[in-house]
Structure 1
Amino acid sequence: MIDETLNEIKEEALHFLKEIIRIPTENPPGLNYDKIVEVIKSKMEEFEYKTEIFYPSEEELKRLVKFGKGNRPNLVGYLGNGNVKIAFNAHYDVVPAGEGWSVNPYEGVIKDGKLYGRGSADMKSGLVAQLYAVELLRREKLLPSSLQIIQTFVPDEETVGNINAGAYYLMEKGVLKNVNYTIFTEPTGPDNVCYGHRGALWAIIKVYGKKSHGGLPQLGVDAVKASVQIINELYNSVPDITSSYNIIPSVAKKPSILVGTIKCGSWMNIVADYCEFTIVRRLVPEERLDDVRDKILHVLDDVNKRTGIRYDYDEFYAIDTIASNVNDKIYKIFKEKVKEVRGKEPELVLSPGTFDIRFTVKEGIVSINYGPGKIEQAHATDEYVELKDFYDSIKVLALVLLELGKI
């Protein structure tokens, strides 16, 4: 019967996925957050959830939000009254679409069995899958009475942070603290069961020089030149090691550093007295955060000693590798159900990118990630999700809930 009902709701689920992809929730700055929350809330109430929206106050936003502005609504829905509390979590914000797409990133174009659009993989397909997995069981009157489902839809995952106005804020408010399990639906692929992620360090480095005429650069202190030295040395500071952990894709088994943005100078004929750039350093599990930070600071201090250039180091996100308890029975259940639906033994993997699972694992909550999107599509131009993967993930999640209802 589940297969029959799944076939009946496929078009409905796809239509809803296209509907929310058409709402550009780009972050930063945090566009259309209130709009998408109202759309999802309406759908949840149609599915008989009791809903609640948590809004950080203006004072809380000053503490929680480093990038962007405006409301940061967190939508929570409750279904059932069982003693086993299963929380699902998805973020509704997406990274900016940027240029170079072959399709409109906010139209929801379907070609060759794939749905294209910003957020199709990361992670609006996961958001819809977790909602319709529960709905599949509700319509079949198979949702176990022993369960309470808590759906959480949050902002600001994409701008990370040691704290944020999304999942972290819900942890502060106690919404996610007393659950038995948290299931995330980030894009780690429908043939993978994910138990955590690599470590990461994000920072803004500000370099201060002194202006002078472009014809007399010797009289100035060139912030661009010093920044180039720092950047080169930071890139060279990353060790050439390969992790023994199953991190996907395989290129992520090596640590990396990225200088994502650079902002320097005010005019081409003036020696730049200021340069600002961002770094994202990805750690493999064999590395320790303190050691990586010390190496970065050593590079900055070394250039300072050689050139006299001043700098500020603003680190706003830093975390070691996060790993949940893979020996818990939920991992066994997921692996069995993925194999049943997909016809192959799933891989147990770490994600290359960090996500909100860090907040629940730190609280001792057994957490797991299973989502339809592939990690290689996250943040990509012409991002897509395969429709088969989307539908299969709905079925996997539904079957997992049936098993969790027996424990």
Structure 2
Amino acid sequence: MEEAFGYSVEVLKRLVSIPTVAPQGDHYEEAAELLARELESMGFEVAVERVPAEYQREKCRHASENPRFIVYGRRGEGGPALHFNGHYDVVPGGPGWTVTEPFKPVVKDGKLYGRGAIDMKGGIAAALGAFKALQLSGAWPQGLRLEAAFVPDEEIGGECGTGYLVNGMGVTPEYVILPEPSGLEKPWHGHRGILWMKVRVKGRTAHASTPWHGRNAFLLASAIALDLQQALAAMYAGRRSKYRIEPEESARPTVSLGGEAGVTGGGKTNQVPGEFYFTVDRRLIPEETVAQARGELVGVLTWLSVKHGAEVEAEEVISAEPAINEPGELYEALREAARQSGRVIGQPVVCPGGLDMWYYTVKGSKALAYGPRGELAHAPDEHIDLVELRFLVEAFARLPLTLAGALQRRT
């Protein structure tokens, strides 16, 4: 186990040093090649699939023109598949780092620092470390196929990552583990959905010295945004998910306005803005659908356009359905693997954010997300505690064996 853990740390350092920033994707191929080599070295049959350019243009509007690569590995024949999914793309490094630079990994005080150390190259390294432990021990599971999929673009919706893996390549495993930063106390068995929209409010441009000749789109958009917030808050007040979502506030639908906002095409101090935009971030509880949320937003905006006498347009930017599943034997096997590795885990809860899980659950896969603490995901000085990484390597190495044993007992 110690050799496998050391391998995991070294792989994580190499992964963090590759700046696989979404949506640019400048170094995706380099990361994909590294991951494919590691899987092949442990006896996996590996395919590196380039997402077709036509699919990328049609489905992945927020991706750059750089190619997208999916690494898919299989080991073993017959039986159901236990499939580990990890995304190798990361958010930009950003300012504010004090321990190291974002893509120069450093180990300090028992922690490995660098962008993606938690979200989620650390999870990928834990899975690879688990495979290494199985290889070193020779204890590969019987009656269970092992799979790994390492994908891009989760940070921008996943259409050119897990979306293409499932819908384009037809990969629909029976059991899925996503080593996302859930925290080690309990796994996630679902996640909230997401709908991003861009709202444009049109006025009339004029010179600022004669503002009566124009109609200020900024002021119109501000009034519409305030009314929209109030109308949606009233609409969502009576809704609460029956599922356990942590933190508790996430059990209700939420909306956030104005994460991005500005004068379309850029403004000037001496000009009355003729068009202003703002964004809407709507999070869905598992009982809702994207179509429902979209219809509600468009309906309220249509009413507000009449109320304020303004032309209003709404464009969908990103959407993903909520996910929920009852993982049954997968959870029981994970709980037993964690117990054997020295930790007791609680009942699954729903993730307040979004994941790639929904691509699998709509196809019938049983899925759990389980990984390190995630407080510093996307933040300066992102790091993973190496004690947690070692635990995950061991727990993930035991999981195929506990799941195979559970399936054999059922038959």
Scaled by the length of structure 2, the TM-score of the pair is 0.90
The equivalent of 2:246 in structure 1 is 248
Q: CA deviation at 1:306?
A: 3.0
- Aligned CA RMSD, in angstroms, stands at 2.1
Asked whether 1:129 is paired with 2:130, we answer no
Q: Is the 8 A contact 2:190 2:351 kept in 1?
A: yes
* Alignment partner of 1:91 out of 75, 87, 90: 87
Q: 1:231 to 1:338 in 2, by over 3 A?
A: farther
Q: Structure 1: which 5+ runs fail to align? A: 1-5
Report the identity percentage: 30
Q: Is the 8 A contact 1:190 1:392 kept in 2?
A: no
Cα distance between partner residues in 1 of 2:15 and 2:39 = 14
1:351 maps to a residue whose letter is C
Asked whether 1:208 is paired with 2:202, we answer yes
Asked whether 1:397 is paired with 2:393, we answer no
* Structure 1 segment 323-362 matched on structure 2, within 5 A: 323-326=324-327, 328-362=328-362
* Alignment partner of 2:74 out of 75, 78, 82: 78
Q: SS of 1:192's equivalent?
A: coil
| Deviations, residues 212-270 of structure 1 (Å, cap 9, x unaligned) | 00122221122222222233233332345665532233443343222321231421211
The equivalent of 2:32 in structure 1 is 37
The equivalent of 1:112 in structure 2 is 109
Q: Is the 8 A contact 1:205 1:278 kept in 2?
A: yes
Q: CA deviation at 1:356?
A: 1.0
Cα distance between partner residues in 2 of 1:214 and 1:355 = 46
Q: Structure 2: which 5+ runs fail to align? A: none
Q: SS of 1:81's equivalent?
A: coil
Q: SS of 1:398's equivalent?
A: helix
Cα distance between partner residues in 2 of 1:286 and 1:404 = 30
Q: Is the 8 A contact 1:191 1:342 kept in 2?
A: no
Q: SS of 2:97's equivalent?
A: coil
Cα distance between partner residues in 2 of 1:35 and 1:206 = 39
Asked whether 1:190 is paired with 2:189, we answer no
The equivalent of 1:223 in structure 2 is 217
Q: CA deviation at 1:287?
A: 5.2
1:339 maps to a residue whose letter is R
2:277 maps to a residue whose letter is E
2:312 maps to a residue whose letter is Y
Cα distance between partner residues in 2 of 1:222 and 1:338 = 59
The equivalent of 1:47 in structure 2 is 42
1:377 maps to a residue whose letter is L
1:384 maps to a residue whose letter is H
Cα distance between partner residues in 1 of 2:314 and 2:162 = 26
Q: Is the 8 A contact 1:168 1:359 kept in 2?
A: yes
Q: SS of 2:119's equivalent?
A: helix
Cα distance between partner residues in 1 of 2:107 and 2:30 = 24
Cα distance between partner residues in 1 of 2:58 and 2:292 = 28
Divergent runs of 4+, >6 A: none
The equivalent of 1:170 in structure 2 is 165
Which range moves more in the overlay, 226-235 or 393-402? 226-235
Which range moves more in the overlay, 32-41 or 283-292? 283-292
Cα distance between partner residues in 2 of 1:25 and 1:203 = 26
Cα distance between partner residues in 2 of 1:116 and 1:231 = 39
Q: 1:110 to 1:198 in 2, by over 3 A?
A: same
Q: Is the 8 A contact 1:82 1:145 kept in 2?
A: no
Q: Is the 8 A contact 2:88 2:151 kept in 1?
A: yes
| Deviations, residues 152-207 of structure 1 (Å, cap 9, x unaligned) | 0111111116xx11111111234422x22122111111221211101221112222
Q: 1:392 to 1:281 in 2, by over 3 A?
A: same
Cα distance between partner residues in 2 of 1:58 and 1:256 = 35
Cα distance between partner residues in 1 of 2:229 and 2:133 = 49
Q: CA deviation at 1:376?
A: 2.6
Q: Is the 8 A contact 2:195 2:320 kept in 1?
A: yes
1:90 maps to a residue whose letter is G
Q: CA deviation at 1:74?
A: 0.6
Q: SS of 2:341's equivalent?
A: helix
Q: SS of 2:262's equivalent?
A: strand
Which range moves more in the overlay, 389-398 or 262-271? 262-271
Q: SS of 1:158's equivalent?
A: helix
Q: 1:377 to 1:209 in 2, by over 3 A?
A: same
The equivalent of 2:62 in structure 1 is 67
Q: Is the 8 A contact 1:208 1:275 kept in 2?
A: yes
Which range moves more in the overlay, 21-30 or 311-320? 311-320
Cα distance between partner residues in 2 of 1:385 and 1:235 = 37
| Deviations, residues 104-161 of structure 1 (Å, cap 9, x unaligned) | 1111222332222211111111111112212211110001132221210111111116
